Amino acid sequence: MSLVLLAGTSNPPLAEAIASCLGLSLAEREATRFPDGEMHIEIRASVRGCDVYLLQSAGPPVEENLFQLLLLADACRRAGAARLTGIVPYLGYARQDRRATGREPVGARLIADLMGAGGLHRIVAVDLHSAALEGIFGMPLEHLTAVPLLGEKLRNDLGDDAVIVAPDLGATKLAERYARLLRLPVAFVHKRRLSGERVTVRGVTGEVRDRTPLIIDDMVTTGGTVEAAVGALLEAGCRPEMTVAATHGLFVGPATDRLRPLPVKRILTTDSVALPDTGSLPHQRASLAPLLADVVSRLHGDRSLSDLIAHA
Amino acid sequence: MSLVLLAGTSNPPLAEAIASCLGLSLAEREATRFPDGEMHIEIRASVRGCDVYLLQSAGPPVEENLFQLLLLADACRRAGAARLTGIVPYLGYARQDRRATGREPVGARLIADLMGAGGLHRIVAVDLHSAALEGIFGMPLEHLTAVPLLGEKLRNDLGDDAVIVAPDLGATKLAERYARLLRLPVAFVHKRRLSGERVTVRGVTGEVRDRTPLIIDDMVTTGGTVEAAVGALLEAGCRPEMTVAATHGLFVGPATDRLRPLPVKRILTTDSVALPDTGSLPHQRASLAPLLADVVSRLHGDRSLSDLIAHA
Amino acid sequence: MSLVLLAGTSNPPLAEAIASCLGLSLAEREATRFPDGEMHIEIRASVRGCDVYLLQSAGPPVEENLFQLLLLADACRRAGAARLTGIVPYLGYARQDRRATGREPVGARLIADLMGAGGLHRIVAVDLHSAALEGIFGMPLEHLTAVPLLGEKLRNDLGDDAVIVAPDLGATKLAERYARLLRLPVAFVHKRRLSGERVTVRGVTGEVRDRTPLIIDDMVTTGGTVEAAVGALLEAGCRPEMTVAATHGLFVGPATDRLRPLPVKRILTTDSVALPDTGSLPHQRASLAPLLADVVSRLHGDRSLSDLIAHA
Amino acid sequence: MSLVLLAGTSNPPLAEAIASCLGLSLAEREATRFPDGEMHIEIRASVRGCDVYLLQSAGPPVEENLFQLLLLADACRRAGAARLTGIVPYLGYARQDRRATGREPVGARLIADLMGAGGLHRIVAVDLHSAALEGIFGMPLEHLTAVPLLGEKLRNDLGDDAVIVAPDLGATKLAERYARLLRLPVAFVHKRRLSGERVTVRGVTGEVRDRTPLIIDDMVTTGGTVEAAVGALLEAGCRPEMTVAATHGLFVGPATDRLRPLPVKRILTTDSVALPDTGSLPHQRASLAPLLADVVSRLHGDRSLSDLIAHA
Amino acid sequence: MSLVLLAGTSNPPLAEAIASCLGLSLAEREATRFPDGEMHIEIRASVRGCDVYLLQSAGPPVEENLFQLLLLADACRRAGAARLTGIVPYLGYARQDRRATGREPVGARLIADLMGAGGLHRIVAVDLHSAALEGIFGMPLEHLTAVPLLGEKLRNDLGDDAVIVAPDLGATKLAERYARLLRLPVAFVHKRRLSGERVTVRGVTGEVRDRTPLIIDDMVTTGGTVEAAVGALLEAGCRPEMTVAATHGLFVGPATDRLRPLPVKRILTTDSVALPDTGSLPHQRASLAPLLADVVSRLHGDRSLSDLIAHA
Amino acid sequence: MSLVLLAGTSNPPLAEAIASCLGLSLAEREATRFPDGEMHIEIRASVRGCDVYLLQSAGPPVEENLFQLLLLADACRRAGAARLTGIVPYLGYARQDRRATGREPVGARLIADLMGAGGLHRIVAVDLHSAALEGIFGMPLEHLTAVPLLGEKLRNDLGDDAVIVAPDLGATKLAERYARLLRLPVAFVHKRRLSGERVTVRGVTGEVRDRTPLIIDDMVTTGGTVEAAVGALLEAGCRPEMTVAATHGLFVGPATDRLRPLPVKRILTTDSVALPDTGSLPHQRASLAPLLADVVSRLHGDRSLSDLIAHA
């Protein structure tokens, strides 16, 4: 069963980098649009009997990237691929895993079901917003983590006064994982109701005064969470020189404008999504390519992934 | 079982017009995007136990419109809708019903399966590119035709010298339907190989000399087919004053620029997709609203649709 | 479509109470075991064409209760029931929604799929451990909350010095829901790494000194979480007179022994599971029967549940 | 994974010929009927872990041949076959891909779904009536063409005055494929409405006067289409010495009687269905065995089929 | 939800009789064959939203009758039928419920799955060869019995010396049901190995000497079982004047020739299959029409069938 | 594809014995319960790409053993096992293959469907209560028999006066299989109605006077069938020194008390279920381990099982 790497158009540099790590070429394919706007997919190499890895990040525009992934999968399935694994470093709609107010869709489950209907056998994703995505996918979902990868890049930069900061309660488990790796203390920002009458306020739990915060999160989208956390941290007396680390750097909407004025000297993300326009920010990206290449290699060789799995 | 009309964002005027024909209001819903770009759907009225009709055209951008339809369906299904019918006047990807060159997806089937996975029970569509879409959909697909509707609008405008013209062989059956309705002769444009050595040329079969052509087709996309047909017709000696009628007027890419210089005095389509920018063209639209309202009314009342079905 | 209430053997008093609220009798059924130990189910009344509500809590022994629910559902399905809703106040295995360390099952998804394979159309559950269970179930899952119910029972008992306490970070959202209802401030207990070298310690965030804590959680199982929270709260100076409120009171293993010595004057749960032996504890139960009867009545009448849904 | 060839009873000579091309024997099997008329299938060789190719043409009696294919597939599946490919040279019910007048079945989809329910993983078919069958089948359908095969047999027989004739508009694409291969011009027979009042007449488009027609089609069933085409061609002045070529030669009902009086010197088909009684016709058959043997060999060896696929 | 009775072509008199019992007409439909031999089904009345009962016996030719049932079901499903019940008085392939010798299909399961794939929601059958067919069908299978019906017809004819005889061990439970109804003793014919060396012989257990046997079975196919039972009974000294009663009278192959010479004065079956040619036999048929009409009426009215069910 | 043996907790000695026969170790796994009573499964070795055999008997407590099997299967599936075969020597609920009195579940089908939903690809079972279980399972079910195994153990113990006795009519086919193997005559115990007025009595058919009976059955559960058979045999004059042989020895409820006083000198079963407490009985067990190890070895090597299959 030959290994075939086939990439959608969502993140070409990452796809190329994974191929390069594996010493392979990406399979030739056409992925254009017909004059009427519909996508046109054609695979140029035989995939019959092959072990195919479809590389496609489901970042914005999610619907197009997702649909292209499904078209690629269908083409592979009909062309006789023996095994179809979707490598989806960033998985959109992961936060829509419940109905918040009643008559809403459960988008995460819909995406999971569409991927199943499209013929994918297995999904590989990185630092999902919720570990329950595993249960939402009927097919096996290998949930990797970029924490060790990002941790290594951060390590040399961190002084003795560093403190890992979860910018909200949802990020505290992630913060613990960074803390264990980097042997640092943890603090977290929280919103809390002070009394029945008074409004909710944001506070910081943990020692941050005169310390240098490393704010971590699974993703930076509009920058709002980081902005609020920076405010709370400054109020709590931390040093005005922070680092932000997140697996997924989407930087959509007002993100760049929001983050530019903040006392953040470094923003580290992976390349899980296509490079957004963050030119004016101190934004660096650590590539997921070695990790994902390793995973492809292990899956193709039927070797264990256990040590790469995100432990919830 | 109450009737609920719920519309996506693909074609609001048509949705409003259908509701108006039925003397109903569209169900309130939110259909926006979260700051990170993901769609947010929320239905504001109870659909529990209801007979819900989801109005969404799957024209460009097809992926977004399709995905929004699936999210709406999922929201309805989870909120307890008893029956979910998708009213999809224009169904994108219908032409991808086979693999043309080997390793391509079969997009039409993929869309059909996604709609099934999304919980829709039945689809209503108009003048599909291929009648075989019925077989491609597992769920019942009611295949309506706009030919009578468009025929009525055209009738008074047609002189004794009119001739129905199919711009390619694929449109001849449709041309026959117009011809039977309007009691007119038929001609068709064809590409044909003249010999083993010489290239293919375009010709016209049927009497068109000094006649006024009514070019009909299922859809106008980039205008290329119409442009070529006009050329062949002029060469065959028809009068330089033509009408074009098509169910779906997408007018994408170079369509407007291509059609403007042609001796076409009138282009008639339905409003199956959102109004494209055809300001400089003699473009008129006949609304599908009365037809679709009638269909919704009959389906809700469990009455027969037979006389509205497109006979292939 | 007649309404039929059919109960398994997991929680007879709750089933009877729901029936009583609705002014109905439970459908007669046999639910015994054959001499060889296999369950024997027989329904004694016709359910053909009926709207059947299966009342069965999936508390311990989960496997038996779950399997009995599936047998009941199969009997109803084959006997012609038109609609099958499982009323499952407590849903076991809900916490197994991911693989914690690699090669584990995702028990929550398995249970969800078994319920689907067994023919259930919809599930009603109360205060699930994770809201993502909605996505894990393919069928609609109505996620109710007992917070208003428990809040009402608690209200008169709370002085001005009361404070809602989440015993761990996972319970903070639930705490907020109590706080909004009771117009009280919130505090939470957390475990936090203090430095790279030192071990993790438990602390309290929020004002608790000299206040009377109301510790809330979704469930009390072995009592370990409550015991630890009480310790942290006492250390933080709260008054030694606490209340514990949780939707599900399982009290398994060492629970009673752990909780008896604590300065807890009242433990309030619902009757979502069969009454455990908590004789020596100040344990009170507020019945879910009125809530669940209301839900059955609304579902049967195709009326909205929105105001009863747990807002995550 | 060993290759196993297993044949139904629909077309034993073709099955033997395919086996012979591959240097293999057909797997021993019993395919008889019990005294009560039910089919009895028993496979006499182990297929456990094998790559099984089921050879069965779905020509008349379609229902029996189809059902026997399903029984063979079920026997293989339960006996542990690893991969099940149906080689179905002629696929009945392919024309029932839509509802023509309203309340009809979509027979083509039904057959596709039954084959899926029966456990087949992939179908190989030849010159289907409609390329959309690919979309109608959920499993991969390899759509081969016999045009090159038939073209080779025809080549030496064709003079400079030959012209490829499509006997109706549905066959024009097929005619183009013959024309490209044989480097000949194309004409086609068409029915066309001449005016609103006058009835439809049949005409010929393309140069046929004094030329020798090669009438091509996907199948000859009752001979009606060929008979009408011959009439139109003679009227248009062609030479009264024609050849007919079609992939599938069913020759049912009045076919032989209709074709015998016509000035047709040669009728060439493949052996896709069992040899019908065409004794008095100048009927020759080119065997599909080499093509199908090649396909089996490639599929078994996971090699590409792209150059054998029918390009629509 | 209106009741629609729609019949295939397998057993028109029974279908008419059922309709007549219900005071209804059979829905108009076309069920012919196209010139190429494929079945053509068209329903002439609206079934949208209807409760449709498809009457089709799956006796020989089983494959055709089964496939026609599936085509009828598909036509109804696509035309909007709300509920589809197959009334299949005789269900072929029921005996193929296991693999007898290893590599055989399990035909009964295949048929069950095809009926499911074809869109049927429920099956009604009469005196199945094995009660385990209920488990083999995923959808509800209502297993009726004709024993009371046949028993009434037999009662007046039976003297004091009558004895119910099961012609093989498989029929003993059925014999018990007749015996309880008719208050008669039971005997049974058995094959039994007499020693390790000697061959198997047929014997009779129970008092039959000088008694008048009523041989009962679920079906008479080739008459072989009856012939052998008669021989054993005569040898055991019974009176040479017997009655045979069986639900299904197929009388295939040598049945008539085998049964004619036997001392059987009356053979009673139902009309579950089309009338075979039994002209020279003392064959009478009791109609299932009142029973099946009652079942249709109850199912349509959502009333219980319990008292009509075959108790295994 | 490596072979992995993974055992549940239902029958550890059998699992160890199978592993030992194969010269393999059982894969390390945790199969415990969390403090709240839910099962916790964790596999300690990689199963990625492996051919996994799950050893779990579904004897009492059936629900727990079954659910544990499903959890193990889910863990394997998600961890990337390539093939999952359940080795289930005793399959509970097999007798619930029909509805006996109307509104009961069909437990056997439910279990079959749950195993399918849980991801098992194939089941191996031994001497099922009904061969129709093959049809009830959608996946391949390899139905083995322990008759040769038990026959070998019995052979030397049987004198010339031995007779195989089926304790009821359901066991006669099984008795024939023993008889052919051991070259002995057969008798059977039966219940039979003697007349319309008199009640049913138990009798023996076949020569048993002064012979030594070997009572065989598929299983011994409460001992009731054996007790009644012994009574009938003694009454018929057999020697008061009997042997009982059955594949499955469950010995539940009153079994030991019932069997102890009987003139039974030896009870032989296999070890298909965990050793029950039969200390005071002359109970011996022949191990299924060599048979099951052989089957695992053949399945893993894709070799035929035909000679091991139970012929119905």
Q: Please determine, for residue E206, whether its predicted confidence score (pLDDT) is greater than 70.
A: yes
Q: What is the DSSP string of A164-208?
A: EEESSGGGHHHHHHHHHHHT--EEEEEEEE-SSSSPEEEEEES--
Cβ–Cβ pairs < 8 A, chains A and D: 21
Measured between CA atoms, the residue of chain A closest to residue B108 is A71
In angstroms, the separation between the Cα of residue D258 and the nearest Cα of chain E is: 13
- Find the mean pLDDT for residues A72-83: 97
CA atoms within 13 A on the CB side of D142: 26
Is B191 an active-site residue? yes
Tell me the DSSP string of E145-176.
Answer: --HHHHHHHHHTT--TTEEEEESSGGGHHHHH
- Tell me: pLDDT of E199 over 90: no
Q: In the predicted model, what is the mean pLDDT of chain D?
A: 94
Q: Do chains B and F touch (3 or more CB pairs under 8 A)?
A: no
Q: Is C163 exposed, middle or buried (0-12, 13-18, 19+ CB in 10 A)?
A: buried
Average of per-residue pLDDT values in chain B:
94
**Which residues, listed in sequence order, are joined to residue B54 by a DSSP beta bridge?**
B6, B86
pLDDT digits (tens, 9 = 90+) for B44-86: 999 999 999 999 999 999 999 999 999 999 999 999 999 999 9
The reply to whether residue D306 touches residue A46, judged by beta carbons under 8 angstroms, is: yes
User: Is D102 within 8 Å of B303 (Cβ atoms)?
Assistant: no
C-alpha gyration radius of chain D:
21
The answer to whether the Cβ–Cβ distance between A303 and F77 falls below 8 Å is no
pLDDT tens string B109-155: 999 999 999 999 999 999 998 889 999 999 999 999 999 999 999 99
Name the closest residue on chain E to residue D101, using Cα atoms: E42
Joined together, the tokens standing for residue E21 give 């019992």
Distance (Å, whole) CA D72 – CA D8? 8
Question: Residue B312: pLDDT band by 50, 70, 90 thresholds?
Answer: low
pLDDT confidence of residue A57: 96
Taking CB atoms and an 8 Å cutoff, what residues of chain A touch F80?
122, 140, 299, 302
How far does CA D309 lie from the centroid of its chain?
14
Q: What pLDDT sits at residue A312?
A: 52
For residue B194, name the pLDDT band (cuts at 50, 70, 90): confident
Q: Does A9 touch chain B (CB under 8 A)?
A: no
- Quick one: pLDDT at residue B226? 96
The widest CA-to-CA distance across chain F, in whole angstroms, is: 68
pLDDT of residue E86: 98
- A198: pLDDT strictly greater than 70: no
Q: Is B269 helix (H, G, I), strand (E, B) or coil?
A: strand
- E 242-261: CB under 8 A from C: none
pLDDT for residue D204: 94
Position F213 pLDDT exceeds 90: yes
CA distance D88 to D296: 12
Whole-number pLDDT of residue A177: 93
User: B117 to each of A116, A312, B71, B121, E229, how far by Cα in Å?
Assistant: 9, 30, 11, 10, 56
When computed from its CA atoms, the radius of gyration of chain E, rounded to whole angstroms, is 21
Residue E79 near chain B (CB below 8 Å): yes
What's the token pair of residue E282?
């003392």
CB atoms closer than 10 angstroms to residue F28:
10
pLDDT at E192: 74
List, for chain D, all residue ranges whose pLDDT scores fall below the cut of 70: 196-199, 311-312
pLDDT of residue C277: 86
Q: Is A164 exposed, middle or buried (0-12, 13-18, 19+ CB in 10 A)?
A: buried
pLDDT digits (tens, 9 = 90+) for C48-92: 999 999 999 999 999 999 999 999 999 999 999 999 999 999 999
Q: Is the pLDDT of residue A28 over 90?
A: yes
Q: Are E110 and E133 in contact (CB under 8 A)?
A: no
**Which residues of C are less than 8 Å from F38 in CB distance?**
60, 62, 92-93, 95-96, 107
Could you tell me how far CA C160 lies from the centroid of its own chain? 29
Which residue of chain E is at minimal alpha-carbon distance from F200?
E185
Cα(F169)–Cα(F189) distance, integer angstroms:
7
Interface of C with F in 183-242 (CB under 8 A): 221-222, 224
CB contact under 8 A, D48 and F302: yes
Tell whether D180 is within 8 A of chain F (Cβ).
Answer: no
Nearest to C42 by CA among C55, C52, C53, C27: C27
Phi, psi of E246 (to 5 degrees): -150, 145
- Confirm if E46 and B304 have CB atoms less than 8 A apart: yes
pLDDT at D199: 64
Average pLDDT value over all residues in chain F: 94
Say what the pLDDT of residue A199 is.
64
Q: Which residue has the higher pLDDT, E264 or F200?
A: E264
What was the pLDDT predicted at C193? 74
- Predicted pLDDT of residue B201: 79
How big is chain B by its Cα radius of gyration, in Å?
21
Q: D153, D173, D191, D265: which is the annotated catalytic residue?
A: D191
| pLDDT value, residue E196 | 65
- In the sheet with F212-220, reading across from the earlier edge strand, the strands are F200-205, F186-193, F162-166, F212-220, F242-249, F264-270, F283-286
Residues of F in contact with A122 (CB under 8 A): 80
E24-80 pLDDT, tens digit each: 999 999 999 988 889 999 999 999 999 999 999 999 999 999 999 999 999 999 999
Place of tokens 């994108």: B92
Q: Which helix (H) or strand (E) holds E253?
A: none
The pLDDT, as a whole number, for residue F310 is 72
* Nearest Cα residue in chain A from F48: A302
Pick among E36, E71, E101, E257 to test the D interface (most D CBs inside 10 A) = E36
Tell me which DSSP letter residue B307 carries: G
pLDDT computed for residue C194 by the predictor: 73
pLDDT over 60 (residue F312): no
Q: Cβ C46–E122 below 8 Å, yes or no?
A: no
Residues F30-73 pLDDT 10s: 999 988 889 999 999 999 999 999 999 999 999 999 999 999 99
Residue located via tokens 């961190």 = A158
Over residues C226-280, the pLDDT tens digits come to 999 999 999 999 999 999 999 999 999 899 999 999 999 999 999 999 988 888 8
Which chains neighbour A (Cβ–Cβ under 8 Å, 3 or more pairs)? B, C, D, F
Distance from CA of F300 to the nearest CA of D (A): 9
Write down all domains in chain D, each with its CATH number in brackets.
3-145+290-300 (3.40.50.2020), 147-286 (3.40.50.2020)
D302 contacts in chain A (CB < 8 Å): 48-50, 80, 82
Answer yes or no: is pLDDT of F199 > 70.
Answer: no
State pLDDT tens for residues D58-84. 999 999 999 999 999 999 999 999 999
Share of chain F above pLDDT 70, in %: 98
A153 touches chain F (CB under 8 A): no
Say which of C79, C95, C224 has its CB closest to residue F103. C79
pLDDT band at E284; cut points 50, 70, 90:
very high
pLDDT, tens only, E122-155: 999 999 988 899 999 999 999 999 999 999 999 9
Q: What is the mean pLDDT of residues B269-273?
A: 97
Q: How many Cβ atoms from other residues are within 10 Å of residue D309's Cβ?
A: 17
Which residues does chain F have within 8 Å of residue C62's beta carbon, measured at their own beta carbons? 37-38
- The answer, yes or no, to whether residue B197 has pLDDT greater than 70, is no
Please, which residues 36-55 of chain A have a Cβ atom closer than 8 Å to chain B? 36-44, 46-47
- Partners of A133 on chain C (C-beta within 8 Å) are 98, 132, 135
State which residue of chain F sits closest to D44, comparing Cα positions.
Answer: F306
Chain center to CA of D13: 16
Among residues C163, C184, C170, the alpha carbon closest in space to that of C233 is found at C163
Burial (0-12, 13-18, 19+ Cβ within 10 Å), C63:
buried
Taking the Cβ of residue B119 and every Cβ of chain A, the question of whether any pair is shorter than 8 Å is answered with no
Interface test with B, best of E4, E43, E46, E77 (most B CBs within 10 A): E46
Q: Which residues of E touch D107 (CB under 8 A)?
A: 38-39, 71, 74
Residue E236 CB contacts under 8 Å (≥ 6 apart), including other chains:
E203, E204, E208, E209
The DSSP 8-state label assigned to residue E312 in this structure reads: -
Q: Is B62 on the interface with A (CB under 8 A)?
A: yes
φ/ψ (deg, to 5) at E51: -100, 100
Q: Do D61 and E37 touch (CB under 8 A)?
A: yes
**Which chain E residue is nearest to residue B137, measuring alpha carbons?**
E78
Going by C-alpha positions, the residue among D189, A254, A198 that lies closest to residue B35 is A254
B106 touches chain D (CB under 8 A): yes
What is the rounded distance in angstroms from the CA atom of residue C258 to the CA atom of residue F33?
A: 20
Chain D CB within 8 Å of residue E78 CB: yes
